[in-house]
Amino acid sequence: MKNGKRMIYLRYEFSNESGKPEGGDIFEYVSTRDAIAMMSKALKVAHGDGVAVHFTVGEEKPFFGFLKAGGLSRKYAESEMVAPRRAPAQAKKRASK
């Protein structure tokens, strides 16, 4: 947990043009609005490329449990984690302290 809030985990996985899964990326969000925005972007990419996209969304325990039930170990799932991006204002503020 970051900042006392429950994290929302989002994994998306695109297929190729014939429907074969091609691996995924996992993101952490503190707000559902941010997670929904990412899902919207991924849907636009999938539609534009003529491929499928699969989403898994949830809080930590059920999210990783669901992935494990689908055959992905926690260690493998963590290798798909994408580092969060810091907004320039946040990075500047931290540097000035």
Whether 3 is covered by a domain: the verdict is no
- In angstroms, the CA 75 to CA 67 distance is 11
pLDDT tens digits for the chain (97 residues)?
455 678 999 999 999 999 999 989 999 999 999 999 999 999 999 999 999 999 999 999 999 999 999 999 999 998 999 976 555 454 444 454 4
- Structure token digits, residue 6: 């429950």
Whether 56 is covered by a domain: the verdict is yes
Domain interval for residue 29: 8-96
User: Residue 27: helix, strand or coil by DSSP?
Assistant: strand
Domain count, the chain: 1
- In angstroms, the CA 14 to CA 45 distance is 9
